[in-house]
Copies of this chain bind each other. A is one copy, B any other.
Amino acid sequence: MFFASDNTSGVPVQILDALSRANGDFVAGYGNDPINLALRDRIRDLFDAPKAEVFLVATGSAANALAIASYCPPWGAVFCHELAHINVDECGAPEFFSNGAKIVPVPGAGAKLTPQALDQALMRAGKGGVHQVQPALVSLTNLTECGTRYTVDELRTLCATARAHGLPVHLDGARFTNALVTQGCSPAEYTWQAGVDVLSLGGTKNGLMGVEAVVMFDPAQAWEFQLRRKRGGHLLSKNRYLAAQMLAWLEGDLWLTLAAHANHMAAMLEDGLRQQKDAKVLFERGGNMLFVDLPRSSHRALHGAGAQYFLWPDHASLDGPPDMPVAGRLVTSWCTTKEQIEEFLEALGKI
């Protein structure tokens, strides 16, 4: 019963097979190999973006921070939701890579930005005044940190708001595929056609060993990005092993299948939880993450039964009155099984 994170799971056999196939002879390093070329073309096709540039790194923090730094100068401000991963979970990676840019947290229910809140924050940002950091970038997350999902329309409006203030848009897509498969639109509609300039396309949380692609729909920043990637120690010499994984993942819709399964497991879990009278599901589920209020005593019992997951928010604690509800964060994965869901719900039902 492992619901702590989708990054604690393994990888499907297709990925191991792809690594074997990629192995073998000498090939040029640093991404100048045929597999990387094929991957780039595959992503261009899938996103209907023939000029997009694609760069691989091994972590989501690297993808986000490098993308952000390529669009935001040291004296710039990045506007994002106050719960965004880049703001609270990357130990200041965006500040480090941008050399001290400021992340401006914007509030919003369910970790979603609203155009109103974003516009207000941008109006107050002090653009043009030498005493204030200068608005440089909007960063959205989809799925959000609360597991909610932006619709295509919502995304379009937010990007238009950013654009009205002259700002480009970054999309943190650590769980992009989980959002995409439920939203049921094309990758293009869900990114550049809605106004996204640069995407962190996450593979790790959806079945890869540690592969993330930065997709730059506008290649203007591509050379700067490459220098930043190298300088950041994120240009792997044996790059084929990253590309091979992601290429296999994109073949035959494997990426979609994996995400759809994780989402389906979350739906099952949600259904079960909604039937428990002490459980209160907190946000509108957008993919494979659930947040649920449970009495502290229930959390203790579930943990005792072997369920692994985090309380939410991070500083929440099981110390305190047993009846007092506290939220738990439950994340399903491409390899979560129906049996694990049933076991969890059963354990909860017994309490």
- The listed residue (B9, B98, B210, B237) touching A26 by CB distance below 8 A is B9
| A233 near B57: Cβ-Cβ < 8 Å | yes
A4 to B30, alpha carbons, bound, how many Å?
Answer: 13
Please tell me how many copies of the chain the complex holds: 4
With an 8 Å Cβ cutoff, the count of chain A residues facing the other chain is 81
Query: Is A112 interfacial (CB 8 A cutoff)?
Result: no
- Minimum CB–CB distance from A98 to chain B (whole Å) comes to 8
Please give, as numbers and ranges, the residues of chain B lying within 8 Å of A10 by CB-CB distance. Answer: 22-26, 238
Query: Is A5 interfacial (CB 8 A cutoff)?
Result: yes
A27 to B213, alpha carbons, bound, how many Å?
Answer: 24
Please give, as numbers and ranges, the residues of chain B lying within 8 Å of A123 by CB-CB distance. Answer: 315
Please give, as numbers and ranges, the residues of chain B lying within 8 Å of A132 by CB-CB distance. Answer: 88-89, 91, 314
| A238 near B7: Cβ-Cβ < 8 Å | yes
| B91 near A133: Cβ-Cβ < 8 Å | yes
| B241 near A210: Cβ-Cβ < 8 Å | yes
- The listed residue (B19, B59, B89, B242) touching A234 by CB distance below 8 A is B59
Query: Is A20 interfacial (CB 8 A cutoff)?
Result: yes
**Do most interface residues of chain A lie in helix, strand or loop, or is the interface mixed?**
loop
Please give, as numbers and ranges, the residues of chain B lying within 8 Å of A142 by CB-CB distance. Answer: none
- Minimum CB–CB distance from A89 to chain B (whole Å) comes to 5
Query: Is A350 interfacial (CB 8 A cutoff)?
Result: no
Minimum CB distance partner of A7 in chain B: B237
Other A-B pairs, 12, CB within 8 Å; known A7-B29, A10-B23, A74-B99:
A4-B28, A8-B237, A8-B238, A16-B20, A58-B58, A58-B236, A74-B231, A90-B233, A91-B133, A95-B101, A96-B99, A124-B315
Residues of A with Cβ closer than 8 Å to B? Answer: 2, 4-5, 7-11, 16, 19-20, 22-30, 57-63, 65-66, 73-75, 88-93, 95-103, 123-124, 126, 129-134, 204, 209-210, 224, 226-238, 241-242, 308, 313-315, 333, 335
